[in-house]
Amino acid sequence: MTPTAIVTGAGQGFGLALTVALARRGTTVVACARDADRLRGALAGVPGVRALPGDVTDPRFRAELAAAAGDRLDLLVHNAGELGPSPLPRLADYPLDALRGVLETTVLAPLGLTRETLPALRAAGGTVVTLSSDAAVEAYEGWGGYGAAKAALDHLAAVLGVEEPGLRVYAFDPGDMRTAMHQRAFPGEDISDRPEPETVVPALLRLLSDRPPSGRYTAAALRVAS
């Protein structure tokens, strides 16, 4: 049976690189992103990928994603996220409406989509991956909003792993990457020293292949272990 995956935030960056890598390994991928033109353009000609534009904060779209994946889902990757204002504000100056948007995209939407797909994940004994960050475990000036959201997502993943022992649930920290979001975090700075997302994908693929116990894993540690 052909494995099936959902990858959110698949129009660029790590989500796009992962989608292409999974498709090349024979996985049928339902790939979503908000920007329809970017998503379809990036994935045009990639076999085994269904591009489904939409916003994961919309409950109706989450239901559409779950339906597109079918009755068995081997892998759900919560890659979509929201950085928040740029330049990154200190907490004393953080607009609360902006923080609500960060939490909605980074925490509530992944929980909602996981709930929609749980029956299919259980049927396949599947895997859930949430994209983490070192900002979830370290205190960096300006990263309070994004870091708090990622810390909350880490904890949701940890609890889901306990509550769903038949699944594997991983919080995966890819480390710094050369992405549009990372550039927004450092406006005007040169981030060309950061690795391309394609170079980080093998670490996650190894995690998926090895299937260790549910938990939080970093790309750096997985590379060292290899």
Residues forming the active site: 146
Question: Hunting for tokens 């079918």 — which residue is that?
Answer: 70
Cβ neighbors of 210 (< 8 A, separation 6 or more) are none
Dihedral through CA 127, CA 50, CA 175, CA 80, nearest 10? -90
Sequence-distant (6+) residues with CB within 8 A of 90 are 141, 142, 144
CB 160 within 8 A of CB 128: yes
Give me the helix-helix angle, 13-24 and 201-210, nearest 10°: 50
For 63, list phi and psi in degrees, rounded to 5. -65, -35
Taking the C-alpha atoms of residue 149 and residue 147, their distance in angstroms, rounded to an integer, is 5
156's enclosing H/E stretch is helix 144-163
Q: Confirm if 94 and 147 have CB atoms less than 8 A apart.
A: no
